[in-house]
Amino acid sequence: MNDTPKVPGDTPEAAPARKDAIAWLEERLNLTELFSFITHFGIIYTPIDTQRPLREQWKKIVETPMVAYARWPHILGLLTALLFGLEAFTGVLLAFYHQPTIAGAYDSTRSIVRDVPLGWLVHQVHAWGSSLLVLVVLMRLLRLFWDGLYRAPREVLWLSAVALAWIVLQLDFTGLLLPWDVKSYWSAVRGLEVVWAIPFVGPFLSFLVGGRTMSEDVMGRFYVLHIIVLPALYLAFVYVTFATMRRVGLSRVTDRGVAQAQAMTTFRRHIADLLIITLVLFAALVTLATLLPFPFHGAADPYTTPKGTRPPWYMLAPYALFQVPWIPDWVFGFGLLVVAACVPFLPAFLRVMGERIDEPRLKRIGLGVLGLWLVLSVIGIFVDRR
């Protein structure tokens, strides 16, 4: 008779206890589906078979060559995801101390800049990151337009790029008011004056944000829009962007209409590129924050308008038109509404409808609109408010 004590786990009934955590979770969750969802935000942009076990799918990803994404001009799409990640991280740090009230906004921001360890750096990195994000998203939109990436089957990619551009502008604008210093307050006021002149949109936004005058309600709703609503919309369209790329693939860089060979890379190299780009971005933001910090002005005075107050730079063009005395506000607003709402979606819409597009002419029109926008922006710097 064998009286040797049995070691726990030697019996067949105890065999499942030996399974590792991944195998245990695989029996209860579709880990590959969760992994696929997470990687839709720029980590992996190649198709993933969610029916395969996670280890098997991971091995396939590591072994399969992939088109290089961290190269010009595709890198612009990657930068939109990475910059937003840095903005979200620094924004959370600022939200720990910021008080979104008229009485506390300026004092809490001043405390962040002056008293919190490295608070000034986080504040400046967040401010510079916002400006760079706006610039990169607009550059990406121009690049997609110039390369004709509103053609089938990339209409959804184009529409998503237009939506991201709009959301980023709103993110920057709603965040502009939160410090409640002189410049941020009056820049937001000037920007809202342009928005209020747009028919239908102006009254709706007035209701949405709590009125046409700066108040506690407006501050609170700008804060909610800035930290919850707009970031959620941004992430949703980033998800749509990468989901579309998984279906249609990366676009080929063209030269006079001739498709060029695409550089290939590996998953390990792609992850290394992501880390390098993230470090370079962070280093660039720290350098800008240190050498070219945004000035932090005194507390806003709603009864004293400082000289030379202007809206944000991306609203200078409509602001210049808004100053023309012989253009009624409703004509200006309606024209701006039609152009802003219809023109960016027009190329993809025509493609969906099967209409033929004269692309060289469309490019010339686009260059003309861009040139006009730049000229009006320069004029908007110098015009006086009517």
Q: Of the candidates 75, 73, 43, which has an alpha carbon nearest to the alpha carbon of residue 61?
A: 43
Q: Of the candidates 307, 292, 330, which has an alpha carbon nearest to the alpha carbon of residue 385?
A: 307
pLDDT of 242 strictly over 90 = no
Nearest-angstrom CA–CA distance, 370 and 373: 5
Mean pLDDT in residue range 224-233? 94
Q: What is the mean pLDDT of the chain?
A: 80
From residue 374, alpha-carbon distances to 19, 169, 377 in Å are: 63, 17, 5
Q: Is the dihedral of CA 43, 46, 48, 53 positive or negative?
A: negative
What are 270-294's pLDDT values in tens digits? 888 889 999 999 999 999 999 999 8
DSSP-based three-state secondary structure for 265: strand
141 residue type, one letter? L
Alpha helices per DSSP H over 73-215: 75-95, 105-114, 119-146, 155-176, 182-196, 201-209
DSSP-based three-state secondary structure for 258: strand
**Left (φ > 0), alpha (ψ -120 to 50) or beta: where does 308 sit?**
left
Nearest-angstrom CA–CA distance, 213 and 206: 9
41 residue type, one letter? F
For residue 192, count other CB atoms closer than 10 A to its CB: 22
204 residue type, one letter? F
- On the 0-12 / 13-18 / 19+ scale of CB atoms within 10 A, 185 is buried
248 backbone dihedrals φ, ψ, rounded to 5°: -100, -10
DSSP bridge partners of 264: 67
> Of the given ranges (13-22, 270-279, 297-306), which has the lowest mean pLDDT?
13-22
State what percent of residues in the chain have pLDDT above 70.
82
Q: Going by CATH, does the domain composed of 68-308 fall within 3.40.50.10860?
A: no
What are 45-99's pLDDT values in tens digits? 777 877 888 888 888 888 878 777 777 777 888 899 899 999 999 999 999 999 9
Nearest-angstrom CA–CA distance, 217 and 105: 13
| Cα angle 316-224-329, degrees, rounded to a multiple of 5 | 35
- Can you read off the two tokens belonging to residue 19? 């399974």
State what percent of residues in the chain have pLDDT above 90.
25
> Of the given ranges (124-138, 154-168, 179-193, 357-371), which has the lowest mean pLDDT?
357-371
Q: Give the per-residue pLDDT at 338.
A: 61
Question: What are 62-65's contacts with CB under 8 Å, separation 24+?
Answer: 62/266, 62/267, 62/268, 64/267, 65/264, 65/265, 65/266
- Can you read off the two tokens belonging to residue 228? 């919850």
Task: Find tokens 């998984």 and name the residue.
Answer: 246
Q: Give the per-residue pLDDT at 172.
A: 93
pLDDT class for 117, splitting at 50, 70, 90?
very high
Q: What is the distance, to the nearest Å, from the Cα of residue 268 to the centroid of all Cα atoms in its chain? A: 26
Q: Give the per-residue pLDDT at 332.
A: 60
- Can you read off the two tokens belonging to residue 1? 């008779």
298 backbone dihedrals φ, ψ, rounded to 5°: -70, 175
Show me where the domains of the chain are located. 29-64, 68-308
Q: Give the per-residue pLDDT at 121.
A: 94
Mean pLDDT in residue range 153-166? 86
- On the 0-12 / 13-18 / 19+ scale of CB atoms within 10 A, 386 is exposed
pLDDT of 259 strictly over 70 = no
DSSP bridge partners of 206: none
Q: Give the per-residue pLDDT at 64.
A: 79
Alpha helices per DSSP H over 177-299: 182-196, 201-209, 216-224, 230-248, 267-291
314 residue type, one letter? Y
Is residue 182 within 8 A of residue 195, CB to CB? The reply is: no
Mean pLDDT in residue range 323-350? 64
Q: Of the candidates 35, 134, 79, which has an alpha carbon nearest to the alpha carbon of residue 276?
A: 79
pLDDT class for 354, splitting at 50, 70, 90?
low
- Can you read off the two tokens belonging to residue 347? 């190329």
Q: Of the candidates 183, 178, 43, 217, which has an alpha carbon nearest to the alpha carbon of residue 97?
A: 178
Q: What is the distance, to the nearest Å, from the Cα of residue 38 to the centroid of all Cα atoms in its chain? A: 17
pLDDT class for 5, splitting at 50, 70, 90?
low
Q: Of the candidates 26, 300, 100, 95, which has an alpha carbon nearest to the alpha carbon of residue 183?
A: 300
